[in-house]
Amino acid sequence: MRDRHIVVTGAGRGIGKAIALRLARDGARLSLLARGEDALAETAAEIGGAFVRGLDIRDGAKVDAAFAAAAEENGPIDAFVANSGSGGPNEPGDGDRFFELVQTNLVGTYQCVRAAQRHLVPGPERRDIVVISSILARIPVAGHTGYSASKAGLLGLVRSLAAELAPDNVQVNAICPGWVDTDMAWEGIGLMAEAIGITRHEAHATAMREVPLGSMGAPEDIAGTVAWLLSPDSRGVTGQAIDQNGGAFMS
């Protein structure tokens, strides 16, 4: 990663922060984008400095401006990791979050990918795009139609982009994490516990019974897979969705 300019969205906490820390350790020059600027600033401080910009990826004009500013600060982009997203359930009727979830996770990611594409380092050297999807792109979960649909849509987006950008030597791939030890995951465990009237500890145990390896992953696990996808060792891997979920989904 030495001296490669990599943009990471959603880098303030959880998986995105772990990705930023790993890529910085591997020598990348980073631009970090997310809604929460305070959390981004903490990530940047931990890695010894990075370009930081608050960003709601649903706003196309602000997405364009943020990627342009990142390229101006750190030079053309070698790789983009699309990690920003919104989770949680949605229900029909007043307050249905379906459109918010799709607008953030699918449309927002698409806007970021196109903005990154406009500022990529010129070829013919390889460039990379990695999209963080979810196991919910693979399996049904009642009450999560918006999240599932948006994350499944990302896999179609990745495949089509991989075919579209292959002639320019841009590899495009997705990762589908399962349960990962993040605030978002524990919020999900809490909602499960509340819905069926059990403790969070019991809900966690119930969830882990569906995972053959029996435990949540760590954010650093996903960061390691991102690092591999951006490395020379992954040459020729494009249009793929890597299922990193402890065996909870096996294709």
Q: DSSP characters for 151-201?
A: HHHHHHHHHHHHHHHGGGTEEEEEEEE-SBSSHHHHHHHHHHHHHHT--HH
pLDDT of residue 213: 96
Band (pLDDT 50/70/90 cuts) for residue 1 is: confident
Predicted structure pTM score: 0.95
| Burial class of residue 198 (count of CB atoms within 10 Å of its CB; 0-12, 13-18, 19+) | middle
Enter the tokens of residue 130: 């990695």
Mean pLDDT score across all residues of the chain: 96
Mean pLDDT of 209-235: 97
Distance of CA 137 to the CA centre of its chain: 13
Residue 47 predicted with pLDDT over 90: yes
pLDDT of residue 223: 98
* Helix and strand element counts for the chain (H, E): 9, 7
Question: Which of 91-95, 106-110, 141-145: highest mean pLDDT?
Answer: 106-110
pLDDT of residue 191: 85
Q: What is the DSSP letter of 232?
A: G
Percent of all residues in the chain with a pLDDT value above 90, rounded to a whole number? 92
Residue 180 predicted with pLDDT over 90: yes
Rounded to whole angstroms, the Cα distance separating 101 from 97 reads 6
Residue 183 predicted with pLDDT over 90: no
pLDDT of residue 184: 86
Rounded to whole angstroms, the Cα distance separating 39 from 55 reads 12
pLDDT of residue 86: 94
Alpha helices in 57-140 (DSSP H): 60-74, 98-102, 109-118
Pairing status of strand 51-54 against strand 79-82 = unpaired
Rounded to whole angstroms, the Cα distance separating 3 from 209 reads 43
Catalytic residues: 147
pLDDT of residue 168: 97
